[in-house]
Amino acid sequence: MPSRLFAPGADDHRMEIHESLDSTNILAKQRAIDGVEDGYVIVADTQTNGRGRRGRSWHSPAGVNLYLSMVLDTKKVSAGLVSLMGAVAVMDTIKQLCPNPDLVQIKWPNDVLMGRKKVAGVLGEYLSEKQDWCVLGIGVNVNSKAEDLPDSPRWPATSIALFLGKQLNRNILLSRLVCRLRDLKHTLETDHEKILEQVRQNSATIGRTVLLSVQNTEPQKYKAIGIDENGLLLLQGQEKIITVTAGDVDIIQDNR
């Protein structure tokens, strides 16, 4: 029988745990509008309509993984860096468990990979109803078995348990991840370059050939050469360097 999720003692008043939600991001947005504090967290054991970017879905089976959203006051931070901050928090939390931490990397802009397979995804959504607030949604495959992983994902998927060959305590992971997110939110406000450095140093994208598909055009090959000070990806074009945002491109990495 899988263990139940619970809020760590000190977090009782700023974390809600639900057995099932359509999407933690949807409830977190509502709570943000209701006026909860910065850093408030919504967790669900399963989601019936877990969301990815651009209308894609997030596979969210019950009893095995983590699905959470943090409400963030982003007045003092650069919008493009919030999702990257979430990816760094997940990466740091997973690296702590891993005998080969170098195998945990960030695939720009919002995926965390273990051994080049996707173990987590991050979805930052701004609120039209409340300027300067956003919800940062995070899904981590913790104890999924191979049969719990999504069918034909866009990128090969794994779980921490499959990668490490042992099951993990989801409550310990939840508490570490939430702590790390709150710490990094502070870093984002005071020294965001540190977060960018982490993203660059642990990038699964920089140095690779990527196929860039912009809506309704044939995908083109580019070399990813860096991430700029706003968190945007830099690609070497034939004549000049181009900058891409997560919203207007789809990056499909080649294996070269």
Give helix 192-201 / helix 82-95 axis angle, nearest 10°.
60
Does position 95 interact with ligand BT5 (CB under 6 A)? The reply is no
CA–CA dist 145, 127 (Å, integer): 35
Does position 231 interact with ligand BT5 (CB under 6 A)? The reply is no
Does position 82 interact with ligand BT5 (CB under 6 A)? The reply is no
Which of residues 154 and 194 has its CB atom nearest to ligand BT5 in the complex?
154
Three-class SS state of 201: helix
Q: Which stretch binds ligand BT5 (CB under 6 A): 138-146, 168-176, 200-208, 219-227?
A: 138-146
Q: Which residues, listed in sequence order, are joined to residue 127 by a DSSP beta bridge?
A: none
Which of residues 155 and 183 has its CB atom nearest to ligand BT5 in the complex?
155
Binding residues for ligand BT5, rule CB under 6 A, total 28
Minimum distance of ligand BT5 from residue 135's CB (angstroms): 8
Does position 110 interact with ligand BT5 (CB under 6 A)? The reply is yes
Element (H, E) at 195: helix 192-201
Minimum distance of ligand BT5 from residue 13's CB (angstroms): 21
Minimum distance of ligand BT5 from residue 242's CB (angstroms): 21
CA–CA dist 117, 128 (Å, integer): 33
Q: Which stretch binds ligand BT5 (CB under 6 A): 93-101, 117-125, 162-170, 220-228?
A: 117-125
CA–CA dist 105, 114 (Å, integer): 7
Does position 205 interact with ligand BT5 (CB under 6 A)? The reply is no
Does position 58 interact with ligand BT5 (CB under 6 A)? The reply is yes
Place of tokens 């080969």: 100
CA–CA dist 166, 249 (Å, integer): 36
Does position 67 interact with ligand BT5 (CB under 6 A)? The reply is yes
Does position 88 interact with ligand BT5 (CB under 6 A)? The reply is no
| Nearest partner of 182 among 97, 72, 18, judged by Cα | 72
- Give how far Cα 217 sits from Cα of 193, 242, 250, Å: 34, 16, 11
Which of residues 120 and 188 has its CB atom nearest to ligand BT5 in the complex?
120
Minimum distance of ligand BT5 from residue 20's CB (angstroms): 12
Does position 77 interact with ligand BT5 (CB under 6 A)? The reply is no
Does position 53 interact with ligand BT5 (CB under 6 A)? The reply is yes
| Nearest partner of 169 among 149, 139, 142, judged by Cα | 142
Q: What residues contact residue 183 under an 8 Å CB cut-off, 6+ apart?
A: none
Q: CB 2: neighbour CB atoms within 10 A?
A: 11
Q: Are 251 and 211 in contact (CB under 8 A)?
A: yes
Does position 25 interact with ligand BT5 (CB under 6 A)? The reply is yes
User: Would you state the structure tokens that stand for residue 10, as one six-digit string?
Assistant: 């000190």
List interacting residues with ligand BT5 (CB under 6 A): 23-25, 47, 50-53, 56, 58-59, 67-69, 110-111, 118, 121-123, 137-139, 141, 150, 153-154, 157
